[in-house]
């Protein structure tokens, strides 16, 4: 691909009304047309601050961009976009497929305001059977598939993977311990005694027999469970006939485990081997997309998505944008079944084929066996959207009640709740959670590693007031710098601090120092004996008040506070775990993951590395004389 140099059309001054802004944006776009090629590529529209408003792809860039130069023919949404456009950027590509792939990647990376956005795009967990040793491991894996072995999935949730792994362990007795633990065992572990492992670590099974069970696990995960169960049934009958009842009982347990895996499948469709089913349902200007995963002929679960988009956008275009972004970081299966016919179905199929390295069919079945699972997915999408709309309505009522009780001009559109977590000042974390009109906005959550308390700072360990002061100061100093005119929608209407009068006073001081006088504050003090339902609430300059024990508004505020506490505790524990598991070797410059692993495998522990002599360190594979001297010097500063 060749990047065209960024050139900006001169912004026409006088953007005082919508009509003039529209003329200005159209003039900016018009200025690019003479130099644009008749070639495939991707274009980006940017506002005055350089933020990307929209990313689009085109078979012919000049022809596509020309449509924006005549904004009177465009929908209102695109007219607003043109009015904000102050410059454009272009990337030419060799093919339209390449442009489509780049467009999806840029949308996910830049998250432009006027594109359809897939808001929740975490990778899915897989099952990994490793292939880099004599005795393979059975593991849960999430992320890049770089480790040697075979991957099976995706599974819709970690719970589905955990249940399947537990059943597979009972069925095939494969180990899940790390290589270090495997090599150091001298007797079978608990997994062997509860019949979830065959104990290859201490020679309770031969390498050949273990490899045979690995092969059976492959067969099962690729859809041949019937053959395996029939084979095990014959072996169980044979063992029973020769009075080897213990062997027969073990085989019986394995058959039961296989049956248990199959029992967890919600729906199974004959002839549907490796496929994803993607169905969209719209109501009230919102959409829900349900994705079902079928692998090896079995249902691996489903997940609901609620993409962000303009209320008037049609289902086909929403689904088209969703598919492109969804498979940007996931390998597509051989078949993708859709609830709607996409405008560029053949192009999308070609793009997915390019990404997957094998032919991918994109189908919109109208009848027959493949239509039934699509209809089932549509039903799930409709029900999930119904639940979300109901929750949204309840949430909006709570916001209305909160605004009324606190005597605001209207309901707060954005609420930020702050809490701290630490153990006697160590590993101190500040947490911010955000709630909006549609509910919790988890992508807006923030964590703050406390710097001024219990470390190099001048505040005492465990000083919650100093922690709150630091968190609020950092949050709103940055907000003043990045969005001083409050135009990005990232400023809260209400800030809730957990801690009552004291913490509220700290928030008032921080806002006074920063000159912020348009953000409401609320302090929440725990009730006597920390009883939920007896909380006391404080506003600046006002007398504290309580709410009736069964008041829905009380439950709403409790949920917000508890969510902030949960997020703070979870983040604190993660930080503490990282610190506990940190190695002294991490502090040595030039010692990366490979050298660290080589040292630990050679010496057994970081303590033994610290005690080692220069000659011993040089004997480690990958450790040169210079690196050995650096390691030795780190642990022997007095020498």
| Structure token digits, residue 451 | 């710097």
| Structure token digits, residue 564 | 């902030």
- β-strand 335-338 against 275-283: which pairing, if any? parallel
**CA-closest candidate to residue 264, choices 385, 360, 331, 168:** 168
Residue 245 has φ and ψ, to the nearest 5°, of -70, -30
Residue 581: its pLDDT value, please?
A: 53
Q: Encode pLDDT of 380-421 as tens digits.
A: 999 988 888 887 888 888 899 999 899 888 889 999 999 988
The single-letter DSSP state of residue 421 is E
Map out the domains of the chain as residue ranges.
Answer: 2-110, 126-263, 275-385, 415-579, 584-635
Assigned superfamily of 415-579: UvrC, RNAse H endonuclease domain (3.30.420.340)
> Given a cut of 50, is residue 13 above it in pLDDT?
no
Instruction: Cite the DSSP H helix spans in 57-206.
Output: 61-66, 76-84, 96-110, 158-172, 179-184, 190-193
Classified by CATH at the fold level, domain 584-635 comes out as DNA polymerase; domain 1 (1.10.150)
**CATH number corresponding to 2-110:** 3.40.1440.10
Q: Are 139 and 191 in contact (CB under 8 A)?
A: no
Q: Encode pLDDT of 209-222 as tens digits.
A: 898 888 888 888 87
The pTM assigned to this predicted structure is 0.67
Distance (Å, whole) CA 27 – CA 467: 51
Residue 266: its pLDDT value, please?
A: 46
**CA-closest candidate to residue 337, choices 321, 355, 349:** 349
Q: Encode pLDDT of 267-297 as tens digits.
A: 555 567 789 999 999 987 889 999 999 887 7
Distance (Å, whole) CA 82 – CA 64: 14
Residues 6+ apart with CB under 8 A from 394: none
Kindly list the distances between the CA atom of residue 389 and the CA atoms of 134, 305, 437, 552, in Å, as whole numbers in the listed order: 53, 14, 11, 18
Instruction: Cite the DSSP H helix spans in 225-329.
Output: 225-241, 245-263, 315-326
Q: Are 453 and 459 in contact (CB under 8 A)?
A: yes
Residue 292 has φ and ψ, to the nearest 5°, of -105, 140
- What's the average model confidence in pLDDT over 307-326? 90
Highest mean predicted confidence (pLDDT) among 165-179, 290-304, 314-328, 615-629? 314-328
Residue 114: its pLDDT value, please?
A: 92
| Structure token digits, residue 212 | 């045979």
- Positive or negative, the CA dihedral 296, 299, 305, 311 is positive
Q: What percent of the chain has pLDDT over 90?
A: 29
Distance (Å, whole) CA 9 – CA 87: 6
Domains 275-385 and 584-635 share a fold: no
One of 3.30.420, 3.40.1010, 3.40.720, 2.60.40 is the CATH number of 275-385, namely: 3.30.420
The greatest distance separating any two alpha carbons of the chain, rounded to the nearest whole angstrom, comes to 95
**CA-closest candidate to residue 555, choices 564, 547, 544:** 547
Q: Encode pLDDT of 215-264 as tens digits.
A: 888 888 877 766 777 777 887 888 888 887 877 887 787 777 777 655 54
């Amino acid at each position: 691909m060749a990047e065209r140099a960024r050139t900006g059309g001169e912004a026409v001054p006088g953007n005082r009304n919508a009509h003039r802004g529209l003329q200005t944006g159209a003039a900016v776009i018009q200025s690019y047309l003479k130099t644009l090629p008749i070639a495939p590529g991707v274009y980006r529209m940017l506002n005055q601050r350089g933020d990307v408003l929209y990313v689009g792809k085109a078979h012919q860039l000049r022809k596509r961009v020309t449509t924006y130069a005549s904004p009177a023919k465009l929908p209102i949404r695109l007219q607003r976009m043109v009015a904000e456009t102050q410059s454009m950027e272009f990337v030419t590509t060799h093919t339209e497929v390449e442009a489509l792939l780049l467009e999806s990647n840029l949308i996910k990376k830049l998250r432009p305001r006027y594109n359809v956005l897939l808001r929740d795009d975490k990778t899915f967990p897989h099952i990994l059977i490793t292939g880099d040793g004599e005795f393979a491991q059975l593991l849960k894996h999430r992320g890049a598939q770089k480790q040697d072995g075979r991957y099976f999935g995706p599974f819709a949730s970690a719970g589905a993977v955990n249940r399947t792994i537990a059943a597979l362990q009972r069925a095939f007795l494969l180990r899940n311990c790390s290589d270090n633990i495997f090599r150091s065992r001298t007797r079978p572990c608990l997994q062997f005694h509860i019949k979830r492992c065959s104990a290859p670590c201490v020679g309770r099974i031969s390498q050949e027999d273990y490899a045979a069970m690995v092969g059976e696990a492959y067969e099962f995960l690729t859809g041949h469970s019937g053959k395996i169960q029939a084979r095990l049934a014959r072996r169980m009958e044979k063992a029973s006939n020769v009075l080897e009842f213990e062997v027969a009982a073990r085989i019986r347990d394995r058959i039961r485990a296989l049956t248990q895996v199959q029992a967890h499948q919600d729906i199974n469709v004959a002839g549907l081997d490796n496929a994803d089913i993607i169905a969209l349902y719209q109501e009230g200007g919102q959409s829900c997309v349900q994705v079902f995963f079928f692998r090896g002929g079995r249902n691996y679960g489903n997940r609901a998505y609620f993409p962000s988009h303009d209320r008037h956008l049609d289902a086909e275009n929403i689904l088209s944008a969703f598919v492109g972004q969804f498979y940007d970081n996931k390998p597509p299966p051989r078949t993708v079944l859709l609830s709607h016919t996409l405008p560029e179905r053949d192009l999308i199929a070609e793009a997915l084929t390019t990404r997957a390295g094998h032919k991918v069919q994109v189908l919109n079945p109208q009848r027959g066996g493949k239509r039934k699972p699509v209809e089932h997915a549509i039903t799930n999408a409709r029900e999930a959207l119904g639940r979300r709309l109901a929750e949204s309505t309840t949430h909006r009522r709570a916001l209305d009640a909160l605004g009324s009780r606190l005597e605001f001009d209207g309901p707060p559109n954005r609420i930020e709740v702050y809490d701290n977590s630490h153990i006697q000042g160590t590993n101190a974390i500040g947490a911010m959670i955000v709630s909006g009109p549609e509910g919790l906005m988890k992508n807006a959550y923030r964590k703050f590693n406390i710097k001024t308390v219990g470390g190099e700072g001048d505040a005492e360990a465990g000083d919650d007031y100093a922690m709150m002061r630091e968190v609020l100061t950092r949050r709103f100093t940055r907000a003043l710098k990045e969005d001083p005119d409050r135009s990005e929608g990232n400023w809260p209407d209400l800030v809730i601090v957990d801690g009552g009068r004291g913490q509220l006073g700290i928030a008032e001081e921080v806002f006074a120092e920063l000159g912020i006088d348009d953000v409401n504050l609320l302090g929440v003090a725990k009730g006597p004996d920390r009883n939920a339902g007896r909380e006391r609430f404080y506003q600046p300059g006002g007398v504290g008040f309580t709410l009736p024990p069964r008041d829905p508004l009380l439950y709403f505020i409790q949920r917000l506070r508890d969510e902030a506490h949960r997020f703070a505790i979870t983040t604190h524990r993660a930080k503490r775990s990282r610190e506990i598991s940190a190695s002294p070797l991490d502090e040595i410059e030039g010692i990366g993951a490979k050298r660290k692993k080589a040292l630990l495998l050679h010496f057994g522990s970081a303590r033994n590395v610290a005690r080692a002599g220069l000659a011993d360190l040089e004997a480690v594979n990958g450790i040169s004389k210079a690196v050995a001297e650096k390691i030795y010097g780190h642990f022997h500063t007095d020498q």
